[in-house]
Amino acid sequence: MKQSKSEKLAVMELSSQSAMGDITSRFPGARRALFARYHIGGCSSCAYKDDEVLGEVCERNDITVTGAVEHILNSHEEDQKMLIDPLVLKTIIDEGEVEVRFVDTRTREEHEAVSIPESYFMTQEFQQEIFATWERSESLLIVLYDHSGKSSLDTCAWFQGHEMKNARALEGGIDAWSQQVDSNISRYRMEM
């Protein structure tokens, strides 16, 4: 795929002296990607400040700037790896070779109003239970979902950063699931 002039400039400007706040605003998937691969930026023990430069973050975490830059530039591809298409997921469920557990990352009110059948509602306590007791194997697929698939990627990166590599985010969220797989699930709109 051919890069636009602005994308080429953004790549050329990304260096060890780039501020982390600038990086995460130019590359929206960078925060998730850095956490998923290097466990950087997701919690207080591995956090960085927006005005801290990439070189400092890499040095403190014993990773190369070149490796981090390459990974940031590929963060869109990393996001795509964390997503699972509703129809692909439906096929996996129908084949029955893998156990699938849905985890709802929306608000309690949304979950109680409409949810994917047999899904778990995620609280902080339940998240800790998942990390402590759920399998980390290919025989279990953890599918995180929100309303439209936007915030579940952050949660998925958090899970993968805590070695739950069997976690995926439902592409398009419960809204896509209701349109493509289960029309019995009521659709709704978020009021701002």
At 17-30, the pLDDT tens digits run 999 999 987 887 78
Q: What pLDDT is attached to residue 149?
A: 84
* Other beta carbons within 10 Å of 17: 11
pLDDT in tens, 96-110: 999 999 999 999 999
Q: Assess whether pLDDT exceeds 50 at residue 10.
A: no
Tokens representing 186? 């009521």
Domain 80-180, second-level architecture: 3-Layer(aba) Sandwich (3.40)
User: What is the pLDDT, as a whole number, of residue 161?
Assistant: 86
DSSP the chain: -PPPHHHHHHHHH-STT-BHHHHHHHSTTHHHHHHHHH--SSSTTT---TTSBHHHHHHHTT--HHHHHHHHHTHHHHHHHHEE-HHHHHHHHHHTSSEEEEEE-S-HHHHHHS--TTPEEP-HHHHHHHHHHS--STTEEEEEE-SSSSSHHHHHHHHHHTT-TTEEEETTHHHHHHHHT-TTSPP-----
Beta bridge partners of 60: none
Average pLDDT, the chain: 88
The pLDDT tens digits for 135-181 are: 999 999 999 999 988 789 889 988 998 889 999 999 999 999 999 99
Does the pTM exceed 0.75? no
Domain borders along the chain are 5-73, 80-180
